[in-house]
Structure 1
Amino acid sequence: MKKYLAVLLAAVLCLGSLSGCGGKNGAQEQKEIKKIAYLCSNLGDKSFNDVAWEGVKKAGEEFGLEVKAVEYGADNKSRMEPTLQDAAGSYDMVIFSGNEMIEFLEKCYEDFPDTKFVAFDIDPVYELTMPNVFVVAYLQHQGEFLTGVLAQRLSASGVTGLVGGTEAVGINDFLVGYIQGVQYADPNAKVAISYVGGFTDSPKAKELAYLQMDQGADVLHQVAGGAGLGVFEACVDRGGARAIGVDADQRAYFLESNPKVADVIVTSMLKRNDVSLYNIIKDSLDGNIAFGTMEKWGVKQGATVLADNDYYRQTVPQPVRDEVQQVADQIASGAITVKTAYGMEQETFAQMRNAVKP
């Protein structure tokens, strides 16, 4: 009888408290989020990494969190996995981007069951199986459709250019969306296409931009991270050519430091890392994020759109801005379906690219 009462008391105590009962598969008290690490290759790219860090910093300041940017190095991939593991053991939440990093996490996430992970800018075809990870995939090809429409409407020559970082499916997804937008604006349009081979070599990007201008391109779009800064410099040097940035409102980064560069950047195709990460952190603190799930954010969610800043409104004619907005509305409603490079046959991609070759 005493043994029965002891078991009954233990059961009552377990029901009355969520902590300590059920192990990994039972109900447990959620670890409070106080410390957050943002992992990136490097800050200072005036683009993707910097704008993401802005969102994390803002959340830290507003919610009284300890936040830290941890840089593992742009050309030091061997540091990625140990950096991830170190952060996972020291912080309550770890935020990072990229498919390479999430593959490293797959190998060790079970060692850190109390750590929450946020992975953003992951391939939309990724299959998530980790219960303590929240994943965001950006539908960048949708935003690039808008970019292509805008670039073609601004072009006097009928030739625009795109300088990409690496010839990988993620960058080609930008290109596929861009080509569709250009052809929507003008079926006979041409696009000069180049790849830097990385995301840090701005002098090479500058030379590629010169070559595209020699082919007649007068509106150049960079999708090459920090290397893409060379595209802006080329537009300044040659004069007359205009540029479209990527990921962040890149004009804003140069307004004070280099006004000449700022003035060639008409707008940028945004990935709203700042807003996305701020909201994810806020919702995590409120218990409103379903870890173990993946979401896809595009034009409809306002995640992959053009920067609608004062300069864009001043330099782009109202009819063109109206058309871009109408196209955005149609993409959001599903009236326009934008093809993606993910799952596209290589032959189909090659035909699309060759069809717009100057």
Structure 2
Amino acid sequence: MRTRLASAATIALVLLSGACGGRDSSGKANDSGATSAAFRVALLHPGPTSDNSWNWGAAQGLARIKDSLGAQTSAIQTKTPAEFEENFRQYGSQGYDLVIGHGFEYQDAAVRVAPEFPKTVYVTTSGNQVGANLAGIEFDFEEPSYLAGLIAGSLTKTGVVGTIGGTELPPVKRSFAAFAAGAKAARPNVQVLGSYIGNWDDVNAGKEQALAQIGRNADVIFQNADAAGLGVFQAAKERKNVLVVGSNADQNNVAPEVTIGSVVIDLPRAF
């Protein structure tokens, strides 16, 4: 299953993007590229790219751009709104051409900082705010989430399915609502459990949330929690007859014995 990009956002990225980058989980920017005349692009991402999900997809997208265009790039992992704004401003002051905030949570900081640096274009994934030098990319994540719900509702043997998210971001909440609608379309009397971990990188907390839902008879769980979501796969592997739906990237290889599919965003192509 693959989501579709909003057309306006796609055009903005095609015209503006030209580079990629790595990341340094220590909080230091990881720069790459060659000449000072190169197109310069920076990425702010909220979690480790080892999540095989949201952040991994962004890293793959940046690598794809770098390989195809060649550019000076920089990437940094940022976790708090203060860090979002600080790094947006830092890259703007350094004259970067394009700065990407990877996630809805970056939108408010981008709105505040973009007017200060009119020569830098700011883009937020899952964002919907636009300005003279500000754009967002929206993904139709709800549509494949609904299909995943149809599958979950058809496969559950206990009549209980679950959703586990990182934090209550609007795009995540919408996708979970679509999943629940799909599950109920397949099985009207299905019970849909829902919970949020409170962060995106605590694998143990993700596992605990999954075990709690399994304890309430959930036998199919849709996770959208980045690195923390890896704990959901761990819980399903430890318990029998529990299935998982992955998110953002093809996560079938994370735990193929319990994974029935993934709700995928083609982030490399989006970037």
TM-fit CA distance, 1:168: 4.4
Partner secondary structure for residue 114 of structure 2? helix
Q: How does 1:43-122 map to 2 (within 5 A)?
A: 43=48, 44-72=50-78, 74=79, 76-90=80-94, 91-122=96-127
Q: How does 1:1-358 map to 2 (within 5 A)?
A: 34-43=39-48, 44-72=50-78, 74=79, 76-90=80-94, 91-122=96-127, 126-128=128-130, 130-252=131-253, 254=254, 261-277=255-271
TM-fit CA distance, 1:269: 0.7
TM-fit CA distance, 1:59: 0.9
Q: Which runs of 5+ in 1 are unaligned?
A: 1-31, 255-260, 278-358
**Greater share of helix residues, 1 or 2?**
1
Q: Write the distance in 1 (CA, Å) between the matches of 2:244 and 2:156.
A: 11
RMSD (Å) for aligned C-alpha atoms: 2.1
What is the identity, as a one-letter code, of the residue corresponding to 1:89? S
TM-score normalised by L of structure 1: 0.61
Report the number of matched residues: 234
Paired residues of 2:222 and 2:246 also in contact (CA < 8 A):
yes
CA deviation map 1:33-75 (0-9, x unaligned): 7121111123222210110120111111111222332222x3x
Paired residues of 2:161 and 2:192 also in contact (CA < 8 A):
yes
User: Based on CA coordinates, which of the two structures has the bigger radius of gyration?
Assistant: 1
Identical counterparts, % of pairs: 27
Q: Which runs of 5+ in 2 are unaligned?
A: 1-36
Q: Write the distance in 2 (CA, Å) between the matches of 1:183 and 1:208.
A: 22
TM-fit CA distance, 1:245: 0.8
Q: Write the distance in 1 (CA, Å) between the matches of 2:173 and 2:222.
A: 13
TM-fit CA distance, 1:188: 1.4
Q: Write the distance in 2 (CA, Å) between the matches of 1:141 and 1:203.
A: 27
Divergent runs of 4+, >3 A: 167-170
Q: Write the distance in 1 (CA, Å) between the matches of 2:123 and 2:252.
A: 28
TM-fit CA distance, 1:116: 2.0
Paired residues of 1:163 and 1:223 also in contact (CA < 8 A):
yes
Paired residues of 2:45 and 2:103 also in contact (CA < 8 A):
no
TM-fit CA distance, 1:154: 2.0
Match of 2:7 in 1: none
| Residues 47 and 155 (structure 1), Cα distance of their counterparts in 2 relative to 1, 3 Å cut | same
Partner secondary structure for residue 58 of structure 2? helix
CA deviation map 1:292-340 (0-9, x unaligned): xxxxxxxxxxxxxxxxxxxxxxxxxxxxxxxxxxxxxxxxxxxxxxxxx
Is the deviation greater in 194-203 or in 227-236? 194-203
Q: Write the distance in 2 (CA, Å) between the matches of 1:162 and 1:199.
A: 14
Q: Write the distance in 1 (CA, Å) between the matches of 2:233 and 2:119.
A: 44
TM-score normalised by L of structure 2: 0.79
| Residues 127 and 79 (structure 1), Cα distance of their counterparts in 2 relative to 1, 3 Å cut | closer
Paired residues of 1:35 and 1:65 also in contact (CA < 8 A):
yes
Partner secondary structure for residue 82 of structure 1? helix
Is the deviation greater in 166-175 or in 219-228? 166-175
Paired residues of 2:46 and 2:103 also in contact (CA < 8 A):
no
TM-fit CA distance, 1:212: 1.4
